[in-house]
């Protein structure tokens, strides 16, 4: 039974945030609820249909390519027009079409077509969704606002995967795409209902010149290349956790035995539940640190987690235990990276390129999803396990964390 005092505490916590920030938080929750099952379970669904790991990885690569194009378009549009309504509406309609195609897909062609539209939708959505946070969060601080929306996304992704797992067991595994369609329709309703409020807030933001007051920066930060390189690597880690890790579980390691698809979905649920509980505490804690700390903390945790995944492949007795410990470290890395990445890119960019900067951030995600699943899919098909991938990721994360430490001091 739910304790009324707990509900009161949650309500008191929620009302501290401005209404416009609550709105974008709801939009990002439904986007994640719809996309959660799609992102985490698509590789398993189409592997079950009969597509190879290479074909599945190719779908995510096509998605990244289309996302690259639409991110640039969306970023340039947002630089000139601060209106986030149009990109959010277009991305929602594209996602509806994409999910319908994936629901109907029984072969490689429709799968690739649907994944491509998913990428196009994400490319339009993310710059608008990211830049909406600093635009709509006042008087709440930007780091705290990003921690809030990332927490809502963690809840949404968990519920999406959980629902997808239940549908896989009791109904039909492709119903996750119908859930995504429902969520996109909900987002369209929220945007249309609150369109005037959003536009008034954006006009007030522009008239008060809040961007200039937050920062007088007229050029990119001197460590921008190191920061963006770290973000690309960390998004690759994120893509591998979402796409390749489930396939690695199913295929097994060098000595570690393979795991059933159903048990794999339970492991994914464990990771998402963990992320659900730690996202706000970690994100809020990181928001009080310097801008480099969050990236470094994330790189170190991904380095340890990836090393444990590599080690688990060689252990028959303790492989499963090592995998669970690895997931804990990777979850710490994800929870610190997601709010940090948006805030740091917004701050290092020149004042007149904030929209393009957040499109660039989204592009870093696209590059991660472009390279990670494609390479790991090929490695899985050739070697039957992903141990080499995890070893290389661990080394690269450690090296970049060391470079950031040197830059700080």
All domains in the chain, ordered by first residue: 18-408 (1.20.1250.20)
Q: What is the per-residue pLDDT across 267-297, written as a single tens digit (0 to 9) for each?
A: 877 887 888 888 888 888 887 777 678 888 9
| Burial (CB count <10 Å: 0-12, 13-18, 19+), residue 106 | exposed
Q: Tokens standing for 235?
A: 């998004």
pLDDT in tens, 320-349: 888 889 999 999 998 888 778 777 777 777
- The vertex-231 CA angle with 212 and 64, nearest 5°, equals 105
Could you give the percent of the chain with pLDDT greater than 90? 20
C-alpha 381/C-alpha 1 separation (Å) is: 48
Buried-state track 186-215, b at ≥16 Cβ within 10 A, e below 16: bbbebbeebeeebeebbeebeeeeebeeee
* Spatial CB neighbours of 315, under 8 Å, sequence gap ≥ 6: 253, 255, 256, 322
Collapsing DSSP states into helix, strand and coil, what is residue 124?
helix
CA distance linking residue 255 with residue 273, whole number of Å: 28
Q: How confident is the model at residue 409 (pLDDT cuts 50, 70, 90)?
A: very low
CA distance 237 to 309: 12
**pLDDT score of 383:** 75
Q: Which residues of 32-68 are buried (b: 16+ CB within 10 A; e: fewer)?
A: bbbbbbbbbbbbbbbbeeebebebbbbbbbbbbebbb
Q: With left for phi above 0 and alpha for psi between -120 and 50, is residue 123 left, alpha or beta?
A: alpha
Which is nearest to 327 in space by CA: 344, 354, 302? 302
Query: Measuring CA to CA, how many Å separate 242 from each of 21, 55, 251, 261?
Result: 27, 16, 15, 14
Dist CA 328 CA 358 (whole Å): 28
pLDDT band at 5 (very low <50, low <70, confident <90, very high): low
Q: Which residues of 128-148 are buried (b: 16+ CB within 10 A; e: fewer)?
A: bbbbbbbbbbbebebbbbbbb
Per-residue pLDDT, 213: 46
Interval 88-132: pLDDT, tens: 999 999 999 999 999 998 888 999 999 999 999 988 998 888 888
Q: Which residue bears the tokens 């991110």?
A: 71
Residue reference for tokens 């594209």 = 94
8 Å CB contact between 159 and 273: no
pTM reported for the whole predicted model: 0.74
Return the biggest CA–CA distance within the chain: 63
Residue indicated by tokens 């290092």: 348
What pLDDT is stored for residue 100 in this prediction? Answer: 94
Q: What separation in angstroms does the CA of 77 have from each of 30, 63, 292?
A: 24, 21, 29
């Amino acid at each position: 039974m739910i304790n009324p005092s707990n509900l009161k505490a949650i309500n008191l916590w929620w009302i501290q945030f401005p209404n416009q920030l609550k709105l974008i938080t709801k939009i990002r929750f439904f986007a994640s609820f719809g996309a959660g099952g799609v992102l985490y379970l698509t590789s398993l669904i189409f592997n079950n249909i009969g597509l190879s790991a290479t074909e599945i990885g190719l779908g995510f690569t096509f998605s990244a390519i289309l996302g690259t194009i639409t991110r640039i378009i969306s970023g340039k549009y947002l630089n000139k027009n601060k209106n986030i309504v149009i990109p959010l509406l277009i991305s929602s309609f594209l996602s509806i079409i994409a999910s319908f195609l994936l629901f109907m897909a029984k072969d490689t062609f429709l799968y690739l077509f649907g994944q491509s539209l998913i990428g196009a939708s994400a490319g339009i959505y993310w710059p608008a969704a990211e830049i909406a946070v600093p635009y709509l969060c006042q008087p709440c601080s930007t780091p705290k606002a990003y921690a809030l929306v990332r927490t809502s996304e963690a809840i949404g992704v968990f519920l999406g995967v959980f629902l997808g797992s239940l549908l896989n067991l009791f109904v039909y595994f492709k119903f996750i795409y119908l859930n995504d369609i429902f969520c996109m329709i909900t987002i369209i309703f929220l945007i249309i209902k609150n369109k005037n409020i959003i536009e008034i807030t954006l006009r007030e933001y522009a008239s008060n010149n809040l961007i200039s007051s937050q920062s007088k920066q007229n050029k990119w930060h001197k460590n921008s290349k190191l920061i963006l390189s770290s973000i690309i690597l960390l998004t690759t880690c994120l893509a591998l956790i979402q796409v390749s890790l489930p396939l690695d579980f199913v295929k097994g390691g060098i000595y570690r035995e393979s795991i059933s698809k159903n048990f794999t979905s339970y492991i994914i649920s464990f990771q998402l539940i963990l992320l659900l509980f730690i996202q706000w505490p970690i994100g809020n804690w990181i928001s009080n640190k310097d801008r480099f700390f969050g990236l470094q903390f994330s790189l170190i945790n991904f380095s340890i987690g990836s090393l444990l995944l590599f080690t688990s492949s060689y252990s028959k007795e303790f492989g499963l235990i090592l995998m669970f410990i690895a997931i804990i470290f990777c979850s710490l890395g994800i929870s610190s990276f997601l709010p940090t990445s948006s805030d740091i890119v917004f701050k290092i960019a020149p004042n007149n390129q904030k929209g393009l900067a957040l499109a660039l951030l989204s592009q870093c995600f696209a590059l991660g999803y472009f390279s990670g699943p494609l390479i790991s899919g090929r490695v899985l098909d050739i070697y039957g396990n992903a141990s080499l991938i995890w070893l290389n990721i661990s080394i690269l994360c450690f090296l970049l964390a060391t470079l950031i430490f040197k830059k700080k001091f």
